Structure 1
Amino acid sequence: MLTRDEVKKYILNKPGAYEDFPFGDDTPVFKVGSRMFSLINKDKKELRINLKSDPDDAIYLRDNFDAIIPGYHMHKRHWNTVIVDNRLPDGMVKDLIDKSYELVYNKLKKDEKEQIKKI
């Protein structure tokens, strides 16, 4: 099972990813360019990550994995909350992070992508 620090490190290793706190000091939001692709809950007892998802994939994931639920305080069609515990393999959690990043990165403006490629 991934720890909060491991998840944060994995997210921040994405090209151009950075941490922001638009919702307060205790809710880390992770962005690429000007867009959010992940946030981590502030509850220190249970690690939950909100991740962007393709709408069809979001429904499939929720229907098939009880550790994946509609995105908390997010647009439910495009966001899932992933409960990081022993119900999902670490590799699957990382794959979901990767897909969230890719979805958001692919929607960035050309100039934002160019800036990230220079990093």
Structure 2
Amino acid sequence: MTRAELEKYIGETYNTDPDYPWEDTPQATVFRHRSNRKWFALTMTVGRDRLGLPEGGSVDVVNLKCDPIMLGSMLMEPGFFPAYHMSKAHWISAALDGSAEGEKIKLLLDVSYEMTAGKGRIKG
């Protein structure tokens, strides 16, 4: 799954628009709940070395809130890493370069959305 595919999927599935909160990092995109404004996804470009990858250059990633019980098993999957620049106990980073399975990213996206929704909230 690419960043463009993910961002399109988020817009269509969760009826939310991207937010660009940082002037100094215009490529970083936050996706928030319409009701409570809490983040459920953050896309950004990071150096591959920041994820512990040996190759140089950069990669697009998405940070998603993750159930701590799921976190350990997801980190064993290709393309998933301890969250970059967020709590590693509650967030996970997925590479958007095809190494992380798209269906698993979508599953974690649903988990993140639900975990940040607040009580009694539904999609939209």
- Range 10-19 or range 90-99, more displaced: 10-19
Aligned partner of 2:71 in structure 1 is: 58
Native 8 Å contact 2:60 2:95 kept in 1:
yes
The one-letter code sitting in structure 2 at the alignment partner of 1:100 is S
Q: For the residues of structure 2 that align with 1:103 and 1:13, how far apart are their CA atoms? A: 19
Q: Let me know the Cα RMSD of the aligned residues.
A: 2.4
> Compared with structure 1, are the counterparts of its residues 61 and 9 closer, same or farther at alpha carbon in structure 2 (3 Å cutoff)?
same
Whether 1:49 and 2:62 are equivalent positions in the alignment is yes
1:91 Cα deviation from its structure 2 partner: 1.5
Percentage of identical aligned residues: 30
Deviations 1:18-74 (A, max 9, x none): 322223322111111310010111359522110110111112211x21411111110
Aligned partner of 1:20 in structure 2 is: 19
1:16 Cα deviation from its structure 2 partner: 4.6
Would you say how many aligned residue pairs link Structure 1 and Structure 2? 110
The one-letter code sitting in structure 2 at the alignment partner of 1:28 is T
Q: Flag structure 2 segments of 5+ consecutive residues without an equivalent.
A: 47-56
The one-letter code sitting in structure 2 at the alignment partner of 1:36 is W
Q: TM-score, normalised by structure 1?
A: 0.76
Deviations 1:60-107 (A, max 9, x none): 211x214111111101111000112333322222222122112212x2
Whether 1:69 and 2:69 are equivalent positions in the alignment is no
More helix by share: 1
